[in-house]
Structures are given as structure tokens and as C-alpha cells.
Structure 1
Amino acid sequence: MSQATRLLLAGLLAMALVMGVGRFYYTPMLPLMQRDYGFDAAVAGFIASANFAGYLAGSIAASFIRPGPVRLWIFRISVVASVLTTAAMGLTDDVALWMALRFVSGVASALAMIVAATVVAEALHLAGEPGRLAWVFSGVGAGIALSGVLAQVAGHALSSGQMWYLAAGLCVLMVPFIFAEMRDRQLEARPHKISARTRQPRPLPFAALLVNYTCEGLGYSVFATFIVAIVKGRPGMEAFADWVWVIAGIGGVFSTLLWAAAAGRIGYASALVAAYVVQIVSVALPALSGNGFVALAAAAMFGGTLMGVTMLTLAVGRQSVDGRGIAILTAGFGLGQMVGPAVAGHFVAAGVGYSETLIGSAAVLVFGTVVLVVAMARRGIGVAQETGSAS
């Protein structure tokens, strides 16, 4: 493999480990943990929010990290912490300890994700191939699909504690390659030409982008936390529950590549608006229909936009605020996703249905999309019209 391919694969596996498993494995595990320990939606929401609070803290900390050997050591420590906290979730049934472990896991996920994305993005930018970053973010979908498959295959035979050990054991296998290949390097540009008609990312007003991405954090997090539990709790839909998360992950594997291609043709901001429209529909669908196949379609659309939205947003905001755009945007996203599950879990425990919480989440996403469209208009472009190399 070429140096670029090894770096991209290391980034992909890192994303699968710290995000797809370390961060999102809780979603298919939630109904299994409730089966074994019997806690309600409010507790489930607080555990999820603890992870998202850690993600927020890690994002803020990442804004102070500068290039160099220290950055790579922070990445490696974060990867190890993600594996250890995943395994440790199976060692206890104490809610406070679960929340502490998920908080540390969130810190590790944010630090590792931001460093990996930044290291790879810098190398690709210097090589004139920023679009290949999409391969790295596809690792999140691969990790989500893996976590869903584990729940589907082994969830009936193993306890929830054993399931946490199983996931951590699989992650250990990825670590040696990730550590060997994830480092700062100078890549050779491949001998090909980028079409003059290919659009390149251009910054949007950063305040509007931050509000938009914070809304994304809040709006997506309810679906991402509870969708498996929602489907598993509906009569006649139990068989679809674990497959929902597998389908979401599969949708995420190729979504970044598709959205990167779309951004090159219609512009990054226009592609981002389109991704939000699809995601809004995906979040609302399970609230509007009790059909299992509709839930699978919603999962495919959700997975097909989740990391696409992230990739497009970070591409547009990467060079803002003296190069700290990724960290600051991720912090806003982390704040939103910290609030979402806790509020949703509280409402469900108080008697409000999951359908109402999903509709509320979709409404938040609509608001964020409106903010994005207004920012585009103020920048002097339309959603459907972008000229030159505008995004």
C-alpha cells in the first residue's frame, strides 16, 4: 500500500474504533442493558449525555492542541482509553460508574477523532487531494455497522457485560496498525488533475455554522441514542431493532464518499443543505409510522447523512478561527448532543412518547438548516446556484 493509503486506512480504523464502537456502541447495547438491569429512559438518557459531555470536554481540549509529537501521543492515549472504557462498561452495574466511564470515553472519542481528522486533512491538503478525507469518515459507519452486527449475532447468547468485553477485544486488534500508521507525514501528490469545475470548500460565516452544527448535535442525538430501543419496544417490530443499527452503519460507510462527490458538483454548502433535508426526514419517519421497513429506510437515510453532515461542515469550517474551526465546531456539536438525550429521556420517563421527542428533534434540525440557508444567502449565494469555486 502507498503511504497515502496506509494513512487513510489508519484514519478509517481509528474512526471505527473511537467513534463507531467507542461512542456509538451504546445505542445497540441500550436495550440489552435495560434487559439485564431494568433502568428507565431517564437513566438511559443521562448515561448517553455523560458520554456527550465528555465529547464536549474533549473537543474544547482539542482546540489547544498544536502539531507535533505531543499531538500524536494524545491521540494514542485517547485510543487506549476508548478501548479500556469500552471493556470497563461490563465490569459494573453502578449507574454513576457507567456515567463516569462514558464521560471518559467521550473525551477520548473527541480527542482521537479531531487529531486523526486534522492529521489526515493536513497531509491530504498539502498533497492537493482534500476530497480523499471522505474515506476516513467512512470508518464511523463501518464501526456502527460492526456494533449492530455484534448485537444481532451475540446479543441473545451473551450478557450485556460480555458484549462490552467482546467489542473491546475486537478493537484491540485494530490498535497496532493504527499506531504504526497514524502520524504526520508528507504525501506525494498522485499524477492526476482536478477538474476546474470541481467545487472547493469556502468558509461560511462561522457564527451561523456554529449554531447550525450545535443544532445538529441536539437534533441527531435522540435518534442515535434511542432508535434501537424505540423499535425494539414496539409490538411486531422487535425483529427489526438490531438491523436498524446495522443498516445505519452500512449507510454511513459510503455516505461520505457520495456527499463528497455531490459537494464537488453542486458546492459544499448546497450539499450540506441537501444532507440536512434527508436527515430531517429520517428522524421524523419513525414518529410518523410504526412499520418496521419504514424504520429501516429511516435508518439508511440517517446513516447516509450522519457523517456526511460532519464531513461537509468540518470541510467548510476547518480553516476558520486561526485553524481551530474543527475543534470549536465539534465543541458546539458536543454541547447540543449532551442536552438532547438527557432532555428526551426525562420527557419519556415523564410520560411523553418517543414519537413526540423525535418530532421535536426534527424541528431543531429544521431550525439549524434555516440558519445555514440564511448564512448562505448573506454570503451572496443561493442554495441552488454557486459560481466559480464557491462551496
Structure 2
Amino acid sequence: MHPTTRLLLGASLTLALVMGVGRFLYTPLLPLMQREFGFGADIAGLIASANFAGYLAGSLLSSFTSHGKARLMAFRVGLFASVATTLLMGMSDELAGWLILRAISGAASAFAMISAAGMTAEALSRIDEEGRLAWVFGGVGSGIAVSGLIVHFGVDHLDASSLWLLVGAISAALMPIALALVGDRQLPRRDTIAKRIRRVARPLPFWPLFVNYTCEGLGYSVFATFIVALIKARPGIEALGDFVWIIVGLAGLPSCLIWMRLAERIGFSTALACAYVAQIVGVALPVLFEAPIAAVIAAILFGGTFLAITLLTLPLGRKGLGGRGFAVLTAGFGLGQMTGPLIAGWLVAGAADYSTPMLGSAGVLAFGLLALVYAIRTRQDAAPAS
């Protein structure tokens, strides 16, 4: 196997394990856990927020392990801890234990993801092939799809704890492959690389972009936490709930590649705005229309945009605030996604149903789109770069 392919495969597998499984397995298992353990939407939102809080903390701490042996150690410890906490979720039946495990899982996924993506991005940049990083983020979609399929076929035969253990065991079996393939590498340069004229990301005014990305964190997290629960709560289409989440994962697989190519043609800011429009429609569809086809289209639109929005946003803002833009944008996103499920859970535990916070999150995303449009309109450099 070519060294570049080995590194891309290892990093993609890492994101499948720590994000697709470690972070998002909770979504398809949530209705089953609620039924077995008898907790409401407020507790469900609290558990999700604990994971997102851990991710925020891990993202900020990762700035201290951004190079060399410290980063490699952060990757290995993060990957191991993510898989371990997935397994341990199947051995706990108390809220306190879940909150601790999900917080550790969030921090571990941040360490592993940022370290693996960082090592891969640096290795690719040295050979002028940064665009191939989009392959790595497709791993999140594959992890979502595969774990969703396991839950779908196992839900009639296993309880929630057993499914946590099963998926965790499969992750543990795959973990040595990722550990062996990911590391600081000097990749060989290809003899011939097709040259094409393409646009590059031009920075946007930072604070409107910060508002935009914080809204994305809040808006996307509500859909990502509660969409399966929403569909399974509707008479007549309950069986579609698991398939909706599988479709989200499948749509996420090629999304970063597609949006990156589009951004290189029409501009990163324009592509990002288009992605927001698609995501807003996707989040609102299952609320406005109860037909099964609406849920399927919503899953495609959401799965096809939520990873790509991150991939498109960071190049537009990473140079802001004297080079601290990446960390501050990540902090805003983390605060948003930590808050979203918490507020949504409180609403559903009160007088609202799942449709209310879902529609509210679409409104938050729309406000974020307005902030993005404002950033684009007020950008000083209006000349296209190629």
C-alpha cells in the first residue's frame, strides 16, 4: 500500500472510531436507552451535553500537544480512551457514570481527531496535496453508518448495554490498525500531479464568522442528538428512525470531497453559504412535513453538510486573531453544541415535543447564515484568488 494511502486510511479509521462511533453512537441508541432506563429528554440532553463539553475541553487542551512526540502520544491516548469509554458505557447503568464517561469520551475524541488530522494535514502539505485531507473526514460518515447498521439489526435481540459492548468490541479490534498507520510521516511526492486552476480560501472578518460557527455548533447538535428519537416518536414511521441515521452517515462519506471541489470552483465562502442553506432545509423538513420521504431527504441534506461546513469554515477563519482563529472558532462551536442538546432536552421535558427545538435550531442556523452573509459583504479583499 502506498504510504500516503496508509496514512489517509489510518486517519479516516481513527475518525470513524472516535467520532462516528465514540461521539455519535449515542444517537441511534438514545431511544432504546430511554425505554430501558426510563429517563426523559432533559436527561438525554444532559448526557449529550456532557460529551460536547468534554470535546470542548479536549479541543482547547490539544493546543498544548500540537507537535512531535506529545501530539503522537495525545493521538494514542485519545484513541484508546475513546474506545475504552464506548465499552464502559455498556457496563454502567447510572447517570453519574454516563456523564463521566461521555465527558471523557468527548475529550478523548478531540485529542485523537485533532492529532490525527493535524499529522495528516502537515504530511500532505509538504507534498502539496492538502486537498486529499477531505478523504479523512469521510471516516466520520462511515463510522456513523456502520454503527447505525449494527444498532438497527441488533436492537430486536440485544439491550442497549449489550450494543454498547458489541460496537465497543468491534472498535477495539480495529484500533490496532489505526495505531499502526497514523503517525508523523514524510510522504513521497508523486511524479505527476494534475494541475488545475482553483480558488483558495480568503479570510473573512473574524467575529461575524465566529457568530456563524457558534450557531452551527448549537443548530447541528440538536438534530444530531434527537433526530432518531423524533422519528421514532411518530406513529407509522417509527421503523424509519434507524435508517435515517444510517443515511446521515452514508451522505457524510463523500460530502467533504464534493464540497471541497465545489469550493475550489465557486469560492469557499459561496460554497459555505450554499451548505448552510441545504442544512437549514434539512433540519426544518422533518418538522414541517411528516411524510417518510421528508425524513429521508432531511438525512441526506444534513449528512451531506455537517462535516463539510467545518472543513470549509476553518480555512476562512484560522488566520484570524493573530493566528488564534482556529482555537477561538473551535471554542465557539464547542459552546454552541454543548448548549443545544441541553436547551432542547429541557424544552421537550416541558410542554414541547421534539419538533419545537428542531425548528428552533433551524432558526439558529438561519441566523448564523445571516452572520456569514454579513461577513462576506464586509470583507475588504473582494478580488478572487486563484
TM-score by length of 2: 0.96
Number of the residue aligned with 1:361 = 361
Number of the residue aligned with 2:92 = 92
Number of the residue aligned with 1:387 = 384
Number of the residue aligned with 2:193 = 192
Residues in 2 aligned to 1:63 and 1:74: alpha-carbon distance in whole angstroms: 11
SS of the equivalent of 1:187 reads coil
Residues in 2 aligned to 1:67 and 1:328: alpha-carbon distance in whole angstroms: 19
Residues in 1 aligned to 2:373 and 2:295: alpha-carbon distance in whole angstroms: 28
Contact 1:63–1:324, Cα closer than 8 Å, also in 2: no
Write the deviation string for residues 237-261 of structure 1: whole angstroms up to 9, x where unpaired: 1110100000000000011110011
Query: Displacement of 1:20 after TM fit?
Result: 0.3
Number of the residue aligned with 1:277 = 277
Contact 2:230–2:355, Cα closer than 8 Å, also in 1: no
Instruction: Say which is worse superposed, 24-33 or 311-320, in terms of deviation.
Output: 311-320
Write the deviation string for residues 274-316 of structure 1: whole angstroms up to 9, x where unpaired: 1011000000111101112210110111000011111111233
Write the deviation string for residues 198-239 of structure 1: whole angstroms up to 9, x where unpaired: 112222223222221111000011110000011001000111
Residues in 1 aligned to 2:206 and 2:65: alpha-carbon distance in whole angstroms: 20
Going from structure 1 to structure 2, the CA distance change for 1:114 and 1:322 (only over 3 Å counts) comes to farther
Number of the residue aligned with 1:224 = 224
Contact 1:52–1:106, Cα closer than 8 Å, also in 2: yes
Going from structure 1 to structure 2, the CA distance change for 1:303 and 1:184 (only over 3 Å counts) comes to same
Number of the residue aligned with 2:170 = 170
Contact 1:22–1:82, Cα closer than 8 Å, also in 2: yes
Residues in 2 aligned to 1:349 and 1:46: alpha-carbon distance in whole angstroms: 12
Number of the residue aligned with 1:370 = 370
Going from structure 1 to structure 2, the CA distance change for 1:361 and 1:318 (only over 3 Å counts) comes to same
Query: Displacement of 1:121 after TM fit?
Result: 1.2
Contact 2:219–2:361, Cα closer than 8 Å, also in 1: yes
Instruction: Say which is worse superposed, 107-116 or 372-381, in terms of deviation.
Output: 372-381
Write the mapping of 1:252-271 to structure 2, written as runs, cut at 5 A.
252-271=252-271
- Return the letter of the residue paired with 2:195: I
Residues in 2 aligned to 1:86 and 1:156: alpha-carbon distance in whole angstroms: 20
Instruction: Say which is worse superposed, 163-172 or 323-332, in terms of deviation.
Output: 323-332
SS of the equivalent of 1:63 reads helix
Residues in 2 aligned to 1:341 and 1:366: alpha-carbon distance in whole angstroms: 18
Query: Displacement of 1:381 after TM fit?
Result: 6.5
Residues in 2 aligned to 1:329 and 1:5: alpha-carbon distance in whole angstroms: 30
Number of the residue aligned with 2:287 = 287
Query: Displacement of 1:317 after TM fit?
Result: 3.1
Number of the residue aligned with 1:205 = 205
Residues in 2 aligned to 1:324 and 1:25: alpha-carbon distance in whole angstroms: 32
Number of the residue aligned with 1:300 = 300
Going from structure 1 to structure 2, the CA distance change for 1:194 and 1:207 (only over 3 Å counts) comes to farther
Contact 1:63–1:328, Cα closer than 8 Å, also in 2: no
Query: Displacement of 1:378 after TM fit?
Result: 1.3
Considering only aligned residues, what root-mean-square deviation do their CA atoms show, in Å? 1.4
Query: Displacement of 1:331 after TM fit?
Result: 2.1
Going from structure 1 to structure 2, the CA distance change for 1:208 and 1:115 (only over 3 Å counts) comes to farther
SS of the equivalent of 2:377 reads helix
Residues in 2 aligned to 1:341 and 1:250: alpha-carbon distance in whole angstroms: 23
SS of the equivalent of 1:238 reads coil
SS of the equivalent of 1:35 reads helix
Within the alignment, does 1:147 sit opposite 2:147 as a pair? yes
Contact 1:83–1:172, Cα closer than 8 Å, also in 2: yes
TM-score by length of 1: 0.95
How many residues align structurally?
385
- Return the letter of the residue paired with 2:327: A
Contact 2:54–2:107, Cα closer than 8 Å, also in 1: yes
Instruction: Say which is worse superposed, 136-145 or 368-377, in terms of deviation.
Output: 368-377
Percent identity, aligned pairs only? Answer: 54
Number of the residue aligned with 1:316 = 316
SS of the equivalent of 2:64 reads coil
Contact 1:143–1:249, Cα closer than 8 Å, also in 2: yes
Residues in 2 aligned to 1:109 and 1:121: alpha-carbon distance in whole angstroms: 18
Residues in 1 aligned to 2:335 and 2:145: alpha-carbon distance in whole angstroms: 25
Contact 1:59–1:328, Cα closer than 8 Å, also in 2: no
Residues in 2 aligned to 1:321 and 1:160: alpha-carbon distance in whole angstroms: 45
- Return the letter of the residue paired with 1:47: I
SS of the equivalent of 2:119 reads helix
Residues in 1 aligned to 2:273 and 2:293: alpha-carbon distance in whole angstroms: 26
Number of the residue aligned with 1:250 = 250
Query: Displacement of 1:322 after TM fit?
Result: 5.5
Contact 1:114–1:326, Cα closer than 8 Å, also in 2: no
Residues in 1 aligned to 2:108 and 2:323: alpha-carbon distance in whole angstroms: 21
Going from structure 1 to structure 2, the CA distance change for 1:121 and 1:216 (only over 3 Å counts) comes to same
Query: Displacement of 1:355 after TM fit?
Result: 1.3
Contact 2:66–2:115, Cα closer than 8 Å, also in 1: no
- Return the letter of the residue paired with 1:7: L
